[in-house]
Amino acid sequence: MGRKRSVFTLRKRAFLNPPSTGHTSYILAEVESSQNGEYQWGTNMVTLADCHRSIRLEFFLGTKRDRQMSLDKINLLIGTLTTFREVLLRESDLIDKAK
């Protein structure tokens, strides 16, 4: 019996700029259903796009080691982006105060 079509437990796209800019930067997050843990080969991807470039980051869950590496990867990304936001905000505030 063949596998059913892909069902995603998460499929969310958000544009990163206001519509008024006309810029099409976006983030797309997709996590394919494991069908209650029975299917480990799903597509789990984060796509970041800005201008004419995009990158796709894969988070494979096929083996126990892969699952741990994927969780480590997303945690590192979130931590780095959180730090980036804090420093960017601080620099923005410094620029505002200097004006």
Mean pLDDT across 63-87: 98
Is residue 53 located within the same domain as residue 67?
A: no
Is residue 16 located within the same domain as residue 27?
A: yes
Is residue 58 located within the same domain as residue 80?
A: no
CB 34 within 8 A of CB 61: yes
Is residue 12 located within the same domain as residue 35?
A: yes
Average pLDDT of the chain, as a whole number: 94
Cite the beta strand spans of the chain per DSSP E: 8-15, 26-32, 44-50, 53-58
Is residue 32 located within the same domain as residue 67?
A: no
Q: Within 13 Å, how many C-alpha atoms sit on residue 86's CB side?
A: 6
Mean pLDDT across 64-88: 98
Is residue 56 located within the same domain as residue 82?
A: no
Whether residue 3 has pLDDT greater than 90? no
Is residue 54 located within the same domain as residue 26?
A: yes
* CA 96 and chain centroid, separation: 30
Strands 44-50 and 53-58: antiparallel
- Specify which residues 54 forms β-bridges with: 49
Q: Which domain holds residue 95?
A: 63-99
